[in-house]
Structure 1
Amino acid sequence: MNSEFVIAVHGLVLLAYRPEGMATSEEIAENVCTNPVRVRKVMSCLRKHGFVDTREGQGGGYKLCRRPEEVTLADVYRALAAGSLAPSWCSGDPEKDCVVSSNMAEVMTSVFCGADRHLEAYFGQITIGGMLDKVKAKQQA
């Protein structure tokens, strides 16, 4: 899992929470506790995938352009992090005579692909609106 996914979900929940529905990259970065440059990179990807719009100038920033109840974590995961469970390196060598070494990378790839599908299905049950409800419930507890 990559940190861009976490930044994206946090930013989208913040935008859903805001009464005016607008926040700058600096405001989001301060809330997430990260650098505004990282936030701009993530928000740019979210804009490209139709989750947020931007407004330039005074009073500008990012605005959620879809209803929070309609955006699932699976949608965000597919846009930013799909396939990120698989490591960039796998052990073994398909050219070796050893059955373990020659097949381990392919077997591990299938394991990670299966895990990715399960994670995406789980994330499909959770919406940005639901995340906001959980955050609000924590505040009231």
Structure 2
Amino acid sequence: MTGSTVTDMITVQSGVPLSMNSEFTIAVHSLVYLAFLPERMAPSEAIADNVSTNPARIRKVMSCLKRGGYVDTREGAGGGYRLTLDPAIVNLADIYRLMAQGSVIPSWCSGNPEMDCVVGSNMREVMDGIFCRAEKQLENYFGGITISDVLGQIKECEEC
């Protein structure tokens, strides 16, 4: 698996990328944005503007992140969402498990265990195993990337 990218890992043999839960991307973007800010705090409107989505969607994602202990809120003027953990210890696997676990596994699989054909009767079980192993590899890959790492890569882009 050395040298593989995450895109390589979640692309099926047909070459069609699997769908990834967009809340995962929004959560990572939001946490990186908060880590970037000196005070590590911003209102949902500012986060939404940076993510290019609406504040209601940000509030939904941030609510999950708050339940997970990654952010807290401050009410009133100057309030918003604040990053509560060191971005160097928050890895993408943790965020994936919170926001999108299972999104690699399709909700429907071909075949029917009741079929007389060996292919049709076993396809679902075999594919379930393949997708479960793929998701585990994806989680392992994400486990090696922190919010600080993502921010560092973004800062490198700025220097280009």
Shorter-chain TM-score bucket reads over 0.9
Q: How does 1:32-47 map to 2 (within 5 A)?
A: 32-47=51-66
Q: Partners of 1:92 and 1:35 in 2: how far apart?
A: 40
RMSD: 0.7
C-alpha deviations, 1:16-64, integer Å up to 9, x for none? 0001111111111110111111111111000000110111111111000
Give the match for residue 11 of structure 1.
Answer: 30
1:52-63 alignment runs, 5 A limit: 52-63=71-82
Q: TM-score scaled to structure 1, two decimals?
A: 0.97
Q: Partner of 1:10: helix, strand, or coil?
A: helix
**In the alignment, residue 58 of structure 1 is paired with which amino acid?**
A
Alignment gaps of 5+ in structure 2: 1-19
The correspondence for 2:85, drawn from 58, 66, 70, is 66
Report the AA paired with residue 135 of structure 2.
Answer: D
CA distance in 2, matches of 1:15, 1:133: 14
- Which residue matches 2:69? 50
Q: Give the Cα–Cα distance (whole angstroms) in 1 for the partners of residues 56 and 122 of structure 2.
A: 41
Structure 1 unaligned spans of 5+: none
Secondary structure at 1:69 match in 2: coil
2:127 aligned residue: 108
Report the Cα distance in structure 2 between the residues aligned to 1:58 and 1:133, rounded to whole angstroms.
31
TM-score calculated relative to the size of structure 2: 0.86
Matched, 1:85 2:99: no
Identity value in percent: 62
Partner Cα separation in structure 1 for residue 104 and residue 72 of structure 2:
29
